[in-house]
Amino acid sequence: MFTPLALPNGATIPNRLAKAAIEENMAEAGQLPGAAIHRLYERWADGGAGLIITGNVMVDGRALTGPATLVLEAGTPLEPFTRWAQAARRQGAQAWMQINHPGRQVMANMGGQAWAPSAIALDMGRHSKLFAQPVAMTEADIADVVARFAATARAAEQAGFTGVQIHAAHGYLISQFLSPLTNRRTDAWGGTLAGRARLLLDVVRAVRASVSAGFCVAVKLNSADFQRGGFSEADARHVVLMLNDLPVDLVELSGGSYESPAMQGQTADGRTLTREAYFLEFAKDVAAVARMPVMTTGGIARRAVAERVLAGGVAMAGIATALAAMPDLPRQWREGHDPVAAMPSVTWKDKTLAGLARLALVRRRIRALGAGRDRGTAYQPLLTLAVDQLRGAWMARRYRAWLAQRPRSFAA
């Protein structure tokens, strides 16, 4: 676990443990990082992970995954992001910004835009109306998104981050293009897997061309959608073979979407995930054919599980929720300890509300870390969810006011 990893571009990650992305939902006014996020990442930096990947940062301020999500576009003030990068790098870790466009996974009360490959709304049962009705993208819209990913990557490097991770998983825009359930296009951006993967490949090329050779470019990819008829394990393996021909430094494998939150251990197609290291078996198969290092995230919270991941030929173990519960977990493992790092479980019958409650619990914990508090994680799920929803409504009002003041066209 504590040996360095050399990447294809010549950069080195100090050890094989990564703080995987957790959406902080802690933006200050202007959708910028502030003192709380800086403190939070200082905690994670001091915790001993060799790679620190931020929560997703939006490439377009008109489309956010949540009302307090961070935005980095051409022209965004860089100083708050520079301080963020400094906090994450202060113990020598690689610090990569995860960059993303939500596509159709946008809440209806946000007032922004919901683009998608095809105008197919989210199916969340009785909660479906919480999400905006998506609009099918034109070729000009697609070109705009590609340019925005490149502009955000360039700005991330200028701010002092050492890499970016392109988010092509969890049902966000690039993942929507990859899935035949959400991509019904008949033009060059749909149809065959080669067409559905075109956006991802174009974004990788554009990002790589916009940054220096020593800056890392990674991709987060679903091992599957875990929905019947969706993006499959075979599709994911073929996409990794496509990425082999591009200068990609690492591929992280996860799974699921809002409709099938496999990244939380739940699936919509009835498949049962392993209790720990959800996607390990698939990651092993991909690692055997990938030219770049492979990382897997999902359900890793114990030292023995991380060791099993690495022993299976996977280059890195990504840890997310466990690092919210215990931010110094890698350092404790290095010192020979194996503590329990767990958040409260939520097993409500309403799977959508249960998923929201799990996210609310994690957000509450990382806000506490950002505020300098380090008390236990024994939060009450229902109360935490209620407070999180009230906070979200207030943040949505603030975001809509910010959105209304922006220029009509914020160029990439």
Residue 350 predicted with pLDDT over 60: yes
pLDDT on residue 277: 60
Q: Is pLDDT of 245 > 70?
A: yes
Angle at 223 between CA 302 and CA 212, to 5 degrees: 90
pLDDT at 254: 84
d(CA 208, CA 26): 29
Which residues lie below 8 Å from residue 211, measured CB to CB, with a gap of 6+? 153, 154, 157, 164, 217
Q: Which residues pair with 17 in a beta bridge?
A: 317
Q: Please report the pLDDT score of residue 159 as a whole number.
A: 98
Beta strand segments in 202-360, E:
216-222, 250-254, 294-297, 316-319
Model confidence at 272: pLDDT above 50: no
**Residue 262, pLDDT score:** 53
User: What is the residue-averaged pLDDT of the chain?
Assistant: 90
Nearest to 319 by CA among 342, 346, 340, 299: 299
Across 125-129, 147-151, 253-257, 259-263, which has the greatest mean pLDDT? 147-151
pLDDT band at 377 (very low <50, low <70, confident <90, very high): low
Across 318-343, average pLDDT:
93
Residue 409 has pLDDT above 80, yes or no: no
Quote the CA–CA distance of 265 and 255 in Å, as a whole number.
Answer: 9
With 0-12 CB in 10 A as exposed, 13-18 as middle and 19+ as buried, what is 288?
Answer: exposed
Quick one: pLDDT at residue 271? Answer: 47
Percent of the chain whose predicted confidence (pLDDT) is above 70: 91
According to the model, what pLDDT value does residue 376 have?
A: 67
The residue length of the chain stands at: 412
Residue 402: Cβ within 10 Å count: 16
125-139 pLDDT, tens digit per residue, is: 888 888 889 999 999
Comparison of pLDDT for 376 and 280, the residue scoring more = 280
pTM, entire model: 0.93
Instruction: Give 47-115 as a DSSP string.
Output: TT-SEEEPSPEES-TT--SSTT-EE--TT---HHHHHHHHHHHTTS-EEEEEEE--TT--BGGG-S--E
Rounded to whole angstroms, the Cα distance separating 125 from 122 reads: 9
| CA distance linking residue 393 with residue 83, whole number of Å | 28
Q: What pLDDT sits at residue 32?
A: 98
Measured between alpha carbons, how far is 166 from 146 in angstroms, rounded to an integer? 11
- Which pLDDT does position 226 carry in this prediction? 61
* Domains (range + CATH), the chain: 5-405 (3.20.20.70)
Percent of the chain clearing pLDDT 90 (strictly above) = 72
The C-alpha R_g of the chain, in whole angstroms, comes to 19
Q: Residue 266: pLDDT above 90?
A: no
Q: pLDDT confidence of 219, banded at 50, 70, 90?
A: very high
What is the three-class DSSP state of 218?
strand
pLDDT beyond 60 at 400:
yes
In angstroms, the Cα distances linking 282 to 17, 83, 292, 312 are 19, 37, 16, 11
State both tokens at 136: 């099918």
Structural contact between residues 47 and 252, judged by C-beta atoms closer than 8 angstroms: no
The pLDDT of residue 269 is 41
**264 pLDDT band (50/70/90 cuts)?**
low
Give yes or no for residue 258 having a pLDDT over 80.
no
Count of C-beta atoms within a 10 Å radius of residue 79: 10
Instruction: Give CA separation, 120 vs 137, 222, 267, in Å.
Output: 12, 20, 20
Q: Is the Cα dihedral 263, 265, 271, 272 positive or negative?
A: positive
What pLDDT, on the 0 to 100 scale, is given for residue 230?
A: 72
Residues 353, 368: Cα–Cα separation, whole Å:
22
Angle (CA) 246-176-28 rounded to 5° is 90
**Dihedral Cα 341, 327, 329, 81, nearest 10 deg:** 140
The single-letter code of the amino acid at 43 is R
Q: For 32-82, how does the pLDDT look when each residue is reduced to its tens digit (9 = 90+)?
A: 999 999 999 999 999 999 999 999 999 999 999 999 999 999 999 999 999
- State which of 91-100, 215-224, 260-269, 299-308 shows the largest mean pLDDT: 91-100
How does residue 367 score in pLDDT terms, banded at 50, 70 and 90? Answer: very high
Q: What are the pLDDT digits (tens) for 298-311?
A: 888 999 999 999 99
Q: What are phi and psi of 198, to 5 degrees?
A: -60, -40
Q: What are the Cα distances from residue 37, in Å, to 52, 274, 359, 363, 371?
A: 13, 32, 17, 12, 9
Express each pLDDT in 146-172 by its tens digit: 999 999 999 999 999 999 999 999 889
